[in-house]
Structure 1
Amino acid sequence: MILSENHPAEKSFKYRCLLKVFLYITAIVLTTNSDLFAQLHIVPQPVSAVQQKGSFSVKDGATIAVNAESQIVGSYLQQYLKDTYQLNVKVKKYDQIPQNAAIQLVSKATDTVKGAYTMLVSTKSIIITGSGPGLFYGVQSLIQLLPGTISKSLAVPACQVADEPRFQWRGLSIDVSRHFFTVDEVKKYIDMMAHYKLDILHWHLTDDEGWRIQIDKYPLLTEVGAKIAYYAKQGKFRKLDNLNDDGRDGFYTKDDIRSVVKYAQDRFITILPEIEMPGHSEAAIFAYPELGCKDSTGAAHRVRMLDPSEYTFTFYENVLTEVMQLFPNQYIHIGGDEAEVTDWLKSPTAVALMKREHFTEPGQVQSYFIKRIEKFLNTNGKKLIGWDEILKGGLAPSATVMSWEGEEGGIIAAKMHHKVIMTPLPQMYFDAPQANAITEPIGWNDPVSWQMVYNYEPQSKQLTPDEAKYILGAQANIWVEKIGTYKHLEYMIYPRLLGVAELTWTPKAEKDIKRFEQSMYANYRLFNLWDLNARIPNADGLKDVITNKNNYSQTITYPLNDAQVRYTFTGKTDTNAVLNSFPLLLRSTFKDSLPIRLYITRPPAKPITQIATIKHVNVPQPLTNTPDLQPGLAYFAYRTTYNNYPTLDTAKNFVTGAWQVGDFIKPFPGQFNTWVKLNGYLKIDTEGDYLITSDFENSPLVLLGNLVIINSNENKYVEPQETILHLQKGIYPIGGYYLADATNSEQTLISIKTTDGKPLETSYLFH
């Protein structure tokens, strides 16, 4: 295990090690089951968890024993059991909780990190111990151990759990500007976050499409700016062309805000408000045109950019004063992203500012803008967070950076010893579809699967241990231009959010995607109880296949019970096709290609569609003249700024070598693209059927002669592909290229096995 010694989440490492030893010994004594974690199915995975024999039954009329500090958590558990299971239990407060009480919530300070807890479940009692948030997180682990059916007696498996979070920033955003969500919907959003121990809700309250927070000093912000959809329908505002409908108007009163903040506090969630500036400000400018960037004629030049005038600064200082009174947390998010700073070159105010401050480019005006706002926030006891564009022109002295344009901005900020929250595209963007975009609701960007989310690591290897401590954690973001209803929002968030929960909580060395997958599937019983519209999983076994065979046969399985499937070989969905249960045997002959479409239902969830194509190809004959062979494929690795593969003539910086199976080619350091080209031969010693795959998250292009056998840029989770070829004994030309990055430099480029899964016993790639 590699640890950052100065990171707060690692302070109690010795304690955890000792506790693990204790729990391991206990496990040997009390159980013989070797798959302990898999039985408990707690997400995020605890630091230590051991299942024991037997169970404890939470029954109607039971008493939860609490002390003064744990009473709020006890009341939460009482209400949860009533709302979810119609189970009526009592909460009784004690100065000193009796040791023989059946359910004990013991609040006491710990010497570990914030959020630590222990949970001991025996056949006689449940005892959860921790500080305020830790005690609440222990209750969430207990909730995940409860059954998925309503009963007057709920069996909880006996176990010992000791746990604490890796990071203190475990976040999720909600965008209420593009489509407004009600107070009750926001509260349900908070409830679901709480179940998975997330602790930061980033509330995106203003943007071009709507201003959603009441500001007493400027009532037009909500009287006009919160009704953009209404005014657009009247022809008084530009068409909201990014939206897939007419939008949803609305705003939160100050009492609404206070209610949501209190609701979140009771669940140990901090709300981070975002007030966008200087870009993404069209709704505010529509309400108060004086804010808008002016050109030299005095006419409105753009409606998205704020003019850097004293009027604007006074306006936003007044706005932030009212915002700060509503949100007790230490941070205020001011946006700062996608500002069209070149608009300021036509603004007399901005041009005069540049001349006065001796600025040479408009990015410096943005830095000036952010620094002025930061100084105002700091004076009022608050800290500023902004998107990574606030790095441009010079970073404000104490600003925290939220890195969304990939990781580079966060890495730069951490090296400057600024605090960072990692929220990068693509892994942390949940407005992207979860599977093949053809089959999913419309969304931004390329698909992002739950596996991609889970595999993300917030502390980049480019950071030293001292620099890595500035990474506060990670956050998933979602923008709702294309998401018009709350049920659609839930569909986009879940189950991917469980991956964020685990990557921000569980020690890096303890992560296990196979174990997580089983725990994630186990949580679908709770999704049903919570009426949560989580996207159901894809079936296993369906892949795009390239083959020179004329018969297709594959058994398709499903990870959840009670799912059924219809299928066609026409490429079209037929909801009247024969209904089948899993496992499903697909079998067909074909000459050219075989389009397969599955239509999977598992009520009450929304059905999903899954597609694949089986493509028939003709394989080139092996070479008749055998060249002199050297082990491995020859490679050229080019350092370029090109997004597409460069030719040798245009690539001036490159290295060459021989790539062997198991080798990893590292990308060039810095802000460059590293293109890798490979050439050589595939040597087949025995005629037979062979399975050819790549483990790259985004596939390379691989050719056998001129035949494409692995398509480039296919996501291995979203569009899995494999090639099954009958090859004669002999030597075949093989080659291809790919864009090397930090992820695929640690993944297997190409794997060739027999179709029964056995690796080839001898070397098979040469040049």
Structure 2
Amino acid sequence: MCLCFTVNAQFHIIPQPLRLTPKPGTFTLKNNMVIGIDADNKATAIYLQSYLAKNYNLHLKVRIKPTAAAIYLLLDSNRTKGDYFLNISRSSIKITGNSNGIFYGIQSLIQLLPQDGAAPFRLAACEIVDEPRFQWRGLSLDVSRHFFTVDEVKKYIDVMAHYKLNVFHWHLTDDEGWRIQIDKYPLLTDVGSKISFYEKQGKFRKLDNLIDGGRDGFYTKADIREVLKYAKERFVTVLPEIEMPGHSEAAIFAYPWLGCKDSTGAKHRVRMLDPGDSTFTFMQNVLTEVIDLFPNQYIHIGGDEAEVVDWLKSPVAVALMKKEGLTRPEQVQSYFIKRIEKFLLSKNKKLVGWDEILQGGLAESATVMSWEGEAGGIAAAKMHHPVVMTPLPYMYFDAPQANESLEPIGWNPPVPWQMVYNYEPQSKQLSTGDAKYIMGVQGNIWAEKVPNLKHLEYMVYPRALAVAELGWTAKENKDIGRFADKLNMQYGLFKLWGLNARLPNIENMADVYTNHDHYSFVLNYPLKGAQVRYSINGKMPDSTAAAAGFPLKIDEALTDTLKLSAYTTWLLGHQHILQREMVKHVVVDADDSIGNLQPGLNFSLYKTKEVSYRKLDTIAPAAAGILSFPQPLVAAPAGSPLFNWVKVNGFIKIDTEDDYQLTTGFEESPLLFLGNAKVMDRERNRYVEPQKALLHLKKGYYAIRGYYLADDTNSTQNLLQLQTVGGKVLDPGAYLYHM
């Protein structure tokens, strides 16, 4: 039985190809067919052969330049950037490209195969011309807070490769663990990889930032080589990260002389390396062994969250500042990074660091990963340094994917896949020339709250698929609605691969404000075979409650508030998700005696430190006028710590009595009132806590007022949208008025 609905006749490839043209007919793949190859791409053919045998019990033969074949993998030396051509006809399948292009074509082919593993294996005929938008399409893995085994890392790389992600950023060292064997300094792994053990012995600080006290372990050099070989076969580059000068507590625990000394004699947690010659000798020796292992041209040296003020009490650092004429500790960070950069250049390697390496002066050849937001990446690109965009909040997958109270514990506010998908790496603040320095994008996962592989997969997927499409698909080809359909189609593959991706939400479940006395709605779900357990009294049901299938109709009288709680399971309850919906009864009244109105809404703009909209009426506005729609008012950045508050007011004019739906396009919701009734709550992410007002409106005028913060995020989003329940979207110029 197929577990997912069919969308677009099988063409549900992620990331979206550059051009896909359906053709008439199908091709049927059968046992003992031949994969025809050139002499130099046998390894890729064996990869496809092994995949089909493992997942479909379908056994094909690999032949070099056969007279006839079912699948042709043809090398084309003119293709150099991972682009490929895939043609499925009634008689054969042909994939043309360079080595990695052929591999990417195979991944598209894999997504066109039946997901349930049952014969016959019919593929819809089509022609695909495809190429990547960015050359850096990354995903990180923090193995320092919780260690992941070689087999677990291999599976992580496998799924990356299926979605054409090509940079595996391996975060190998941090405060909570050193995970890579260094022959010259055996205590790094003998001691530094066993932080959890030493914490339990009372010899290390309490690991209260970790969900379960951590998971010890390290990779031998043989392990590293095994992973590198595996990644190379899947055209994934491995980027090692060795943290410095901060986040070095595990190394300092193993070799205390590395740590920043305090001339006052104070005892405190030491995470910073002392910037002396012995430390640089140590780091150069470590990096030499790392470089000998990793063929990648880049080495990541961290550089983030360095507690540089510690250096002001360090005799070594103070002496260095005096010697070099440095006046601020940030300049010591720059000195440290530049000295490491010089060493890496001597080994023909390039330095990558987090955006804090901009502080005090950026190393000349450095590549910047912008994580604190976009500002560092934008600044570096304007300086013509290569940049990988990986900013909070969009690219941080240790954040929950939905309402924090219903999801596993994580850092930061929720980041659903829609936020990831909507992110644009080439900021509009960059000129066309500067934007060329954006090498690509990367999703990050930090493992403080991620204790095992199943949990890791839950946090990373499906969000990583949004990164894949963001990094590969041409900007003009992105379509969030189409992507949502394709995403739901991936769950058959996730099942095939044993991937514990987070389940999708129940469709259209949102907080509702309504003036109806009765509320009737249908719960739908995109995956077949899912079940739901629910209650309407606000209490969350669990696996012991009675289960119902989808679609599920709920029909209830409404006098005040209905609190729907849902517990959805799929595949025999191996995973569940929790959702809540509040349906609140409101009263809205029309005024049919208002006249002399003009199109648009009144607005007042306030530049203030106030965080509450309630205090705006006590402040003189910086500007006022008439707001035309559909775009909201966009104010120039006020500059920290000021906010750009906007207040709007006016009327909604209804010509025909009917049922209407009012929604907002803002990612962070505005606060809206119709008369005295609140119909939209503020600061709710529309993907995490969606809202709508379902109202029966009589002919007349309804007073509307609202408040929001104008910023870059909502500058291209619609403040509100009114439509009939039948789905017809109304023109705001025809119903928004002011006095």
State the Cα distance separating 1:549 from its structure 2 match.
2.5
User: 2:502 is paired with a residue of what secondary structure?
Assistant: coil
State the Cα distance separating 1:323 from its structure 2 match.
0.7
- Aligned partner of 2:722: which letter? I
Which residue pairs with 2:44 in the alignment? 73
State the Cα distance separating 1:732 from its structure 2 match.
4.1
Which residue pairs with 2:513 in the alignment? 546
Which residue pairs with 2:604 in the alignment? 636
Q: Which moved further from structure 2: 197-206 or 600-609? A: 600-609
How high is the TM-score relative to the length of structure 1?
Answer: 0.91
Q: 1:223 to 1:732 in 2, by over 3 A?
A: same
Which residue pairs with 2:522 in the alignment? 555
Q: 1:752 to 1:155 in 2, by over 3 A?
A: closer
How high is the TM-score relative to the length of structure 2?
Answer: 0.94
1:584 matches 2:555: no
The alignment-based identity, stated in percent, is 59
Which residue pairs with 2:374 in the alignment? 407
Q: Which moved further from structure 2: 669-678 or 495-504? A: 669-678
Q: Which moved further from structure 2: 638-647 or 369-378? A: 638-647
Structure 1 residue aligned with 2:18, among 44, 47, 56?
A: 47
d(CA) in 2 for partners of 1:373, 1:551 = 68
1:292 matches 2:255: no
> Deviation digits for residues 725-745 of structure 1, max 9, x if unmatched?
344554444222212222311
User: 2:333 is paired with a residue of what secondary structure?
Assistant: helix
- Aligned partner of 2:670: which letter? P
d(CA) in 1 for partners of 2:652, 2:463 = 39
User: 5+ unaligned residues in a row in structure 1: which ranges?
Assistant: 1-34
Which residue pairs with 2:667 in the alignment? 697
Does the CA contact (< 8 Å) of 2:115 and 2:493 recur in 1?
yes
Which residue pairs with 1:104 in the alignment? 72
d(CA) in 2 for partners of 1:109, 1:84 = 31
d(CA) in 2 for partners of 1:706, 1:629 = 20
d(CA) in 2 for partners of 1:639, 1:419 = 35
User: 2:521 is paired with a residue of what secondary structure?
Assistant: strand
Which residue pairs with 1:12 in the alignment? none
Which residue pairs with 1:450 in the alignment? 417
User: 1:607 is paired with a residue of what secondary structure?
Assistant: strand
d(CA) in 1 for partners of 2:420, 2:140 = 15
State the Cα distance separating 1:687 from its structure 2 match.
5.0
Which residue pairs with 2:706 in the alignment? 736
State the Cα distance separating 1:404 from its structure 2 match.
0.9
d(CA) in 1 for partners of 2:12, 2:215 = 38
State the Cα distance separating 1:38 from its structure 2 match.
5.7
State the Cα distance separating 1:179 from its structure 2 match.
0.4
State the Cα distance separating 1:448 from its structure 2 match.
1.2
1:593 matches 2:561: yes
Which residue pairs with 1:238 in the alignment? 205
Which residue pairs with 2:582 in the alignment? 613
Q: 1:524 to 1:624 in 2, by over 3 A?
A: closer
State the Cα distance separating 1:301 from its structure 2 match.
4.2
Q: Which moved further from structure 2: 452-461 or 35-44? A: 35-44
> Deviation digits for residues 286-312 of structure 1, max 9, x if unmatched?
111111111114565431111111121
Matching of residues 688-727 of structure 1 within 5 Å: 688-727=658-697
Which residue pairs with 2:436 in the alignment? 469
- Aligned partner of 1:341: which letter? V
Q: 1:455 to 1:760 in 2, by over 3 A?
A: closer
d(CA) in 1 for partners of 2:438, 2:623 = 33
d(CA) in 1 for partners of 2:700, 2:89 = 64
State the Cα distance separating 1:151 from its structure 2 match.
4.0
- Aligned partner of 1:739: which letter? L
Does the CA contact (< 8 Å) of 2:137 and 2:442 recur in 1?
yes
- Aligned partner of 1:553: which letter? S
d(CA) in 1 for partners of 2:46, 2:149 = 25
Q: Which moved further from structure 2: 595-604 or 726-735? A: 726-735
Does the CA contact (< 8 Å) of 1:37 and 1:49 recur in 2?
no
User: 5+ unaligned residues in a row in structure 2: which ranges?
Assistant: 1-5
d(CA) in 1 for partners of 2:623, 2:266 = 55
Q: 1:59 to 1:450 in 2, by over 3 A?
A: same
d(CA) in 2 for partners of 1:260, 1:533 = 22
Does the CA contact (< 8 Å) of 2:178 and 2:189 recur in 1?
yes
Which residue pairs with 1:659 in the alignment? 627
User: 1:657 is paired with a residue of what secondary structure?
Assistant: strand
d(CA) in 1 for partners of 2:618, 2:518 = 45
d(CA) in 2 for partners of 1:646, 1:329 = 55
Does the CA contact (< 8 Å) of 1:117 and 1:129 recur in 2?
yes
User: 2:397 is paired with a residue of what secondary structure?
Assistant: coil
User: 2:204 is paired with a residue of what secondary structure?
Assistant: coil
- Aligned partner of 2:461: which letter? Y
Does the CA contact (< 8 Å) of 1:639 and 1:668 recur in 2?
no
> Deviation digits for residues 616-646 of structure 1, max 9, x if unmatched?
2343x55698485443222233445776669
d(CA) in 2 for partners of 1:740, 1:155 = 51
State the Cα distance separating 1:551 from its structure 2 match.
1.4
Q: 1:478 to 1:709 in 2, by over 3 A?
A: same
> Deviation digits for residues 56-94 of structure 1, max 9, x if unmatched?
222222221112211010011111111111222221223
Q: Which moved further from structure 2: 421-430 or 734-743? A: 734-743
Q: Which moved further from structure 2: 349-358 or 365-374? A: 349-358
User: 1:53 is paired with a residue of what secondary structure?
Assistant: strand
Matching of residues 86-125 of structure 1 within 5 Å: 86-94=57-65, 98=67, 100-111=68-79, 113-125=80-92
Which residue pairs with 2:3 in the alignment? none
User: 1:615 is paired with a residue of what secondary structure?
Assistant: strand
Does the CA contact (< 8 Å) of 2:721 and 2:730 recur in 1?
no
- Aligned partner of 2:25: which letter? G
Matching of residues 504-583 of structure 1 within 5 Å: 504-571=471-538, 572-583=540-551
- Aligned partner of 1:317: which letter? Q
Which residue pairs with 1:357 in the alignment? 324
Matching of residues 191-210 of structure 1 within 5 Å: 191-210=158-177
Which residue pairs with 2:735 in the alignment? 763
d(CA) in 2 for partners of 1:677, 1:38 = 47
Q: 1:90 to 1:688 in 2, by over 3 A?
A: closer
State the Cα distance separating 1:711 from its structure 2 match.
0.7
> Deviation digits for residues 250-309 of structure 1, max 9, x if unmatched?
000011001101110010000000111111111111111111111114565431111111
Does the CA contact (< 8 Å) of 2:534 and 2:567 recur in 1?
yes
Q: 1:391 to 1:637 in 2, by over 3 A?
A: farther
Which residue pairs with 2:392 in the alignment? 425
Q: 1:457 to 1:89 in 2, by over 3 A?
A: same
User: 2:25 is paired with a residue of what secondary structure?
Assistant: strand
Does the CA contact (< 8 Å) of 1:37 and 1:51 recur in 2?
no
Matching of residues 217-366 of structure 1 within 5 Å: 217-297=184-264, 301-366=268-333
Q: 1:654 to 1:196 in 2, by over 3 A?
A: same
d(CA) in 1 for partners of 2:384, 2:107 = 34
> Deviation digits for residues 128-148 of structure 1, max 9, x if unmatched?
111010011111111111111
> Deviation digits for residues 404-459 of structure 1, max 9, x if unmatched?
11111111111111110010111111111111222211111111111111111111
1:130 matches 2:97: yes
CA RMSD of aligned residues (A): 2.2
Does the CA contact (< 8 Å) of 1:640 and 1:653 recur in 2?
no
Does the CA contact (< 8 Å) of 2:652 and 2:735 recur in 1?
no
User: 2:527 is paired with a residue of what secondary structure?
Assistant: coil
Does the CA contact (< 8 Å) of 2:654 and 2:735 recur in 1?
no
d(CA) in 1 for partners of 2:330, 2:611 = 25
State the Cα distance separating 1:649 from its structure 2 match.
9.1
> Deviation digits for residues 161-192 of structure 1, max 9, x if unmatched?
11111100000000100100000000000000
- Aligned partner of 1:530: which letter? W
Does the CA contact (< 8 Å) of 1:565 and 1:598 recur in 2?
yes
d(CA) in 2 for partners of 1:464, 1:646 = 39
- Aligned partner of 1:76: which letter? Y
Does the CA contact (< 8 Å) of 1:335 and 1:385 recur in 2?
yes
